[in-house]
């Protein structure tokens, strides 16, 4: 192909596929909402997480549209090959090849772990976020874009309900649109849209996506929950009813959070140690409130001290709190932190692992 023809092809690509204003109303509506949410804050560079599923490819498309429109070169598309399936590396290369046809350079990062060690989905998630944070720091960018959507939001609610989560656990995904951990913004700009919406975008753009068979495997709780939600929808559950219930729960949760912050500010002191690690000192009054407020206050301090993206498990935290109250604990570890009971106070500092 002659250079002139190639330039014409690239120009046409930008003016059609990556110009949502010239496409249909459905894609335009999704892009406009995406652009509005991205413009709410001044972000310094973006890492776009591309798993290869329909939702993440829709995210890649919307990000590329935004990148072209704003002439922003500081976008990086990352796929993490966890090697949880035998076909994962082959799928990663197919993904890279497809995206390259659309002028999207996708970096593949492979999880190299000992052959005999078992990789769990939880470990894969933790590894993936470590990759994202390290990449952002190396490239001096501060924002990770994730493709979670409304269906994920609803599924997480019911998964936590079945696991016996408290009020905070049930509504926690509400705050996931824009979080900040270790100075990195974790942004989910697609929570207003269903998987069906994002599948529509992907099919009408790339006409390709990776179908993960684990999404249908009854080995996993999420698959059972999807089946349950489908049945609930057939029996009257709709988006409007679900959102009304959810908003009522959020209101109750906000009331509790007020007293959690009050407990932390009045009954704890958070500073830095000689090696610049965060260190927290909790007075005896910290443990004098209601169980829910103590649990939340303690969990938040553990997360702040450890710097971990995900909080410690509620059951373990509750067990540790019981031991503190019963004075049967002197020193222990939980959630990446060391807990020490010193007279009537509790000291918390980050656990150093070799």
- Domains of the chain, residue spans: 16-237, 251-350
Q: How many CB atoms lie within 10 A of CB 347?
A: 14
State the pTM of this model: 0.75
CATH code that applies to domain 16-237: 3.40.50.620
Q: What is the pLDDT tens value at each position of the chain, 354 positions in all?
A: 333 343 544 555 445 789 888 888 999 999 999 999 888 877 889 999 999 999 999 999 999 999 999 888 899 999 999 887 788 899 999 999 999 999 999 999 988 765 555 556 667 777 888 899 999 999 999 999 999 999 999 999 999 999 888 888 888 877 777 788 778 899 999 998 999 999 999 999 999 998 876 666 666 788 889 889 999 999 998 889 999 999 999 999 999 999 999 999 999 999 887 777 789 999 999 999 999 999 999 999 999 998 887 788 888 999 999 998 887 778 899 999 999 998 889 999 998 876
Measured in residues, the chain has a length of 354
**Taking every pair of C-alpha atoms in the chain, what is the biggest distance, in angstroms?**
80
Spatial distance between the Cα atoms of 331 and 351, rounded to a whole number of angstroms: 12
Residues 6+ apart with CB under 8 A from 328: none
């Amino acid at each position: 192909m002659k250079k002139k023809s190639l330039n014409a092809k690239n120009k046409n690509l930008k003016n059609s596929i990556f110009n949502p204003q010239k496409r249909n109303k459905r894609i335009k509506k999704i892009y406009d909402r995406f652009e509005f949410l991205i413009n709410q804050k001044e972000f310094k560079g973006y890492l776009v997480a591309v798993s290869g599923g329909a939702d993440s490819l829709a995210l890649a498309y919307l990000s590329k549209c935004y990148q072209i429109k704003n002439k922003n070169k500081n976008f990086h598309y990352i796929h993490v090959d966890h090697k949880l399936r035998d076909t994962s590396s082959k799928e990663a290369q197919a993904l890279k090849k497809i995206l390259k046809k659309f002028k999207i350079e996708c970096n593949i990062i492979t999880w190299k772990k000992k052959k005999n060690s078992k990789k769990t989905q939880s470990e894969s998630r933790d590894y993936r976020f470590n990759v994202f944070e390290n990449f952002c720091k190396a490239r001096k960018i501060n924002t990770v874009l994730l493709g979670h959507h409304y269906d994920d939001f609803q599924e997480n609610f019911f998964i936590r309900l079945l696991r016996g989560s408290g009020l905070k656990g049930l509504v926690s995904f509400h705050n996931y649109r824009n979080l900040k951990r270790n100075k990195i913004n974790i942004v989910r700009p697609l929570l207003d849209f269903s998987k069906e919406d994002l599948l529509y975008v992907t099919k009408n753009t790339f006409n390709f996506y990776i179908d993960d068979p684990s999404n249908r495997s009854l080995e996993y709780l999420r698959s059972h929950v999807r089946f349950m939600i489908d049945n609930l929808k057939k029996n009257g559950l709709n988006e409007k009813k679900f959102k009304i219930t959810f908003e009522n729960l959020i209101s109750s949760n906000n009331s509790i959070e007020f007293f959690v912050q009050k407990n932390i500010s009045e009954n704890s002191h958070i500073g830095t140690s000689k090696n610049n690690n965060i260190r927290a000192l909790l007075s005896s009054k910290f443990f004098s409130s209601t169980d829910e407020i103590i649990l939340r206050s303690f969990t938040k301090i553990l997360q702040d001290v450890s710097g971990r993206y995900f909080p410690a498990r509620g059951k373990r935290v509750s067990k540790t709190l019981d031991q503190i109250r019963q004075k049967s604990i002197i020193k222990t570890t939980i959630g990446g932190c060391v807990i020490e009971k010193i007279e009537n106070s509790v000291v918390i500092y980050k656990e150093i692992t070799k």
